[in-house]
Amino acid sequence: MAKRGRKSSGRKVIYRYKKKRGNRKKKSSSPKSAGNKIYSAIKGIVPFYAFASQITAKDYEALQNTDYKNTDIATKGKIFTNIVLGRLSGFTPFKGANLYGSDSTPFTINPSGLVNKFTGLGLAGMIYKNLPIKQLPLKSKIGTLGKGVLVGGAIGGLFDAPDGSSNTQTHTSPQVLGKNMSVISQNRSATMQTGMYSGSNDSVRGRFN
């Protein structure tokens, strides 16, 4: 009976020791798994961030001269949607006077926009990945993130607002959101003063409708 008691107590000690070792392994692996989850989230967000930032950059720059910052989140969401869909397809689902002209955002193609800060960063990340130096840290992950930034920035740049290439400010400014509104208002204020306004002279409106 004494021998049996010793065997059972020995088994309990071995079981407890194994259990402690298992707990240590779980604790040591948890930071790594958390890091992988964070990296996976960043990897999924980065391409969309680069795309959205690049395709809307010039439009939001034009809105800095307005009280856009004071608008509510819902209106800002509508403006963002109008800008992105407008640049990609010419379709703007939200209409209204408080949308800062985003409901007339035109479809644009801008090959020169392929060269931008995001494509530059993405290319740098891919070059880093392919450097023939094995000691460099996180080569694979940085290369993957770089590829996402490159693709997102390239697509956003291809459809963002082109830089003005016409000879007159009146024709180039409507390509960027917000400026078209100021041109229209200037034309209409001049009309009220001179009485010589006609609908056909509103070149900005004709360009977007």
Q: pLDDT in tens for each of the 209 residues of the chain?
A: 545 555 555 555 455 655 555 555 555 556 678 889 999 999 999 999 999 999 999 999 999 889 999 999 999 999 999 999 999 999 999 999 899 999 999 999 999 999 999 999 999 999 999 999 989 999 999 999 999 999 999 999 999 999 863 322 333 333 456 544 444 344 434 434 444 444 444 433 434 44
SS3 199: helix
* Category of 129 on φ-ψ map: left (φ > 0), alpha (ψ -120 to 50) or beta: alpha
Backbone angles phi, psi at 92, to 5 degrees: -120, 110
* Structure confidence at residue 184 (pLDDT): 38
* Structure confidence at residue 4 (pLDDT): 53
Tokens representing 24 are: 């240590």
Distances (CA, A) of 68 to 60, 63, 130: 9, 6, 43
Rounded to two decimals, the pTM is 0.66
Query: Residues 13, 16, 19, CA angle at the centre, nearest 5°?
Result: 150
* Structure confidence at residue 163 (pLDDT): 82
